[in-house]
Amino acid sequence: MKTPLQITSVILLICQSVIAQVPGADISNRIAGKKQNIEGTVSTLDLAGTNVPIESRIIDHSKETPSRNEGDNEVEIINHDTKIHTWQDLNYIHPNQSHMGWNWNIQIDIYTDLYDQKAPNLACDNNDNLYLAFENHNPDIHIYSYTCISIYKSSDGGQSWSHWKSFGELNGNCVLPTISYANSAIFVSYLTQNSVGIYRRAVDGSSYAFKYPPTPTVNPPSEVVSRSRICTDSEAYPDSNAHVYLAYLFGQSTGDPLLYFTRSDSNGDNWSSIVNIDTVTHSYITGDIGIDYASSGLYISYLGSSSDSNKVIVRKSVDFGANFSNKMVIYDDTKNKLGPIIAAHDNKILAVFQYEYSPVDNNIIGTYSLDSGATWTTFTIADDSTDEEFPWVAHDNSGNFYVTYNKTGEIYAEIGEGTPVVDNPDKINSGSDGSTDDYTAVVGLTGGGNSKGSAAAWVAGSSPDYNIYGNYYSYTAPPTAITGTPTDVSSVSATLNGTVNPNGSSTTYYFEYGITTNYGSQTPDPPGSVGSGTSNVSVSAPVLELTPNTTYHFRLVASNIGGVDEGNDTTFTTGAVEVDVVANKIPDKFFLNQNYPNPYNPITTIIYDIPRKTKVSLIIYDILGREIRVLVNNEQNPGTYPAVWDGTDAKGNDAPGSIYIARIFTPEFTSSIKMVLLR
């Protein structure tokens, strides 16, 4: 994983613009105005001899204080060459679709160029706008070609993204961003100058600021901030007065770091004194922590040290971070782990982490609580003979939980509908393999009410050309199927009717029917289509070769990308057949015709002739002579009769595929035929 480089103290804010590539020889000209004590608006800034139109606000505070504070040499560039990447295939159906109406869609390109982009992280505001922060290693963005943080925004649930803001340190790298939302502003924590910085930007773009929470005295290179995580309680306080919470790891880069915590109740302007929560195991990959707020409290997760080395620990605060509970060991196995990352919604909490089962087999484990952290249960999220790595977890406002992870380059997502117990893995990437040394990212829609859905992001490609890709989990209305009343019911046939509303997506339909609610047959086969409109469409299908005087069940089934809808079960009864005179002639002899079709599956018709009134029995036997089904056993008038066998025995069970014998008995006549039932 990446570690912060030593950088200097001047701040550069670059918003909505990617500066054109400029040769480094005259790069000092690019900030020629910064040494002047000016404050105002200029129309151009000389970039190595090239005048590039911009709107800039250049403020020099260098004469006011030698220390590093908010406002030190900030430059805001407003014009930006916006990239927009949009989901293309609206009819894409994920092969592992399993949640009614909900689908992961097709991979989208969020940011691609010839340079590295890394460490994506996601947030959602109170209007369900999504924000994606990531390291941008494109040297054209930064005046001195250092790594910046870029933020992309989606206003349609992750279907399309465009550049929103970018920022960076003038003389050093910004890395490992974590993003959150509160009080109508976006907050990004990032590592810089061996310490942690906070970038705050109003969601309407009207203002920005750099803030620097307190940290212990830095003694580089051995004592540095190696990871920061930020969250807010905006879901509990959506309009204003939300707290901003920050946890970070500080200490020996090769030893066990200290976990520190601070909070702000002034929108990041002021921060509480730092609190040393605990000492954390330096993971076999990198140290990390999780932090999230729910109505039940603030939760911090980490790996313990010393006697608790590598054990998963959670600390909880019920007073906005003023005090924390004693540590709770929620998973006491001491094998190597990465994480844990935590998500909390009301009284439900889920911590996820990477678990090193063996050097070549990492798994994803989850530990959840349904009672505000009082008790915890562990379950396996992903476990096979290959590596599953770099998990992330989030929730939406409806209490659905989402976990993403990398499985040897393939990105997977799992969902827990109304529960932290996620399941049903879906592969959500295509094209280039996901990076196997960078976190995946996922965020739920938390804009208010019962917001549902999520978006994911990950890194794919290979250095020096890692790019950012994404997918989103969205709702598509399933169709509506209404079973109607059958028409044209006769002794051996009927017409099945119903109504389908596609609800805006391409929809197919069929009728299921049979003598029980297990049905067993369908028509039409293959299913018919009713298009993708939003109005009711009447549908019908004939069914033939039914058994006379028999009650049938049927229902209408419709399906589209949003799911499947089944109409109510409805019944009808075929009529009795007394006599069928062919060409107004009574048969002149007894005769048993060969069944049709033959072979069959599962319905076949047997026609026989009766020349005079007599007692008739028609019985089905298996190849061993055992009685399977009596089709006819009564006195009949002269005529030609059809008898239909639906492939079931006397108890209504399906007879196995085999050869069967149909035998007719009268006092004067006996005959038999062989039939082949296919299954």
Three-state secondary structure string covering 526-552: EEEEEECCCCCEEEEEEECCCCCCCEE
Q: pLDDT digits over 252-298, tens only? A: 656 788 999 999 999 999 999 999 999 998 767 778 999 999 999 99
- Res 101 pLDDT > 90: no
Q: Domain 591-677: which topology?
A: Immunoglobulin-like (2.60.40)
| Structural contact between residues 301 and 313, judged by C-beta atoms closer than 8 angstroms | yes
Between 546 and 150, name the one with better pLDDT: 150
CA of residue 465 relative to chain centroid, distance: 26
Retrieve residue 475's tokens. Answer: 């709702």
Which sign does the torsion angle of CA 380, 386, 387, 388 carry?
negative
- Res 455 pLDDT > 60: yes
Three-state DSSP class for residue 290:
strand
Task: Tell me the pLDDT band of 131, cut-offs 50, 70 and 90.
Answer: very high
Q: Which has the closest alpha carbon to 219: 490, 451, 6, 72?
A: 6
Q: pLDDT digits over 512-549, tens only? A: 999 999 999 999 989 999 999 999 999 999 998 888 88
Between 478 and 98, name the one with better pLDDT: 478
Q: Which has the closest alpha carbon to 127: 444, 446, 441?
A: 446
What pLDDT sits at residue 545? Answer: 81
Question: Average pLDDT in the 367-385 region?
Answer: 94
> Which DSSP state fits 436?
T
- Res 456 pLDDT > 80: yes
Would you say the CATH fold of 480-573 matches that of 11-19+77-475?
no
- Res 122 pLDDT > 90: yes
**Per DSSP, what are the bridge partners of residue 200?**
187, 209
Question: pTM score > 0.75 for this model?
Answer: no
Residues 6+ apart with CB under 8 A from 433: 408, 409, 410, 460
Give dist(CA 415, CA 402) in Å, integer. 5
Question: Average pLDDT in the 546-554 region?
Answer: 90
**Per DSSP, what are the bridge partners of residue 560?**
563
Task: Tell me the pLDDT band of 18, cut-offs 50, 70 and 90.
Answer: very low
What pLDDT sits at residue 69? Answer: 39
Retrieve residue 236's tokens. Answer: 């509990």
Task: Tell me the pLDDT band of 222, cut-offs 50, 70 and 90.
Answer: low
- Res 85 pLDDT > 70: no
Give dist(CA 239, CA 241) in Å, integer. 7
Q: pLDDT digits over 567-604, tens only? A: 999 999 998 654 444 445 789 999 999 898 888 888 99
Range scoring the smallest mean pLDDT among 6-10, 172-176, 302-306, 399-403: 6-10
| Structural contact between residues 495 and 466, judged by C-beta atoms closer than 8 angstroms | no
Q: Domain 11-19+77-475: which topology?
A: Neuraminidase (2.120.10)
What pLDDT sits at residue 583? Answer: 43
CATH number of 480-573: 2.60.40.10
Task: Tell me the pLDDT band of 99, cut-offs 50, 70 and 90.
Answer: low
What residue ranges do the domains of the chain occupy? 11-19+77-475, 480-573, 591-677
Measured from the Cβ of residue 456, the count of other Cβ atoms closer than 10 Å reads 28
What pLDDT sits at residue 143? Answer: 75
> Which DSSP state fits 434?
B
What pLDDT sits at residue 220? Answer: 58
Retrieve residue 200's tokens. Answer: 């705050």
Q: Could you give the percent of the chain with pLDDT greater than 90?
A: 58
Give dist(CA 647, CA 305) in Å, integer. 68
Three-state DSSP class for residue 650:
coil
**Per DSSP, what are the bridge partners of residue 258?**
250, 279
Task: Tell me the pLDDT band of 221, cut-offs 50, 70 and 90.
Answer: low
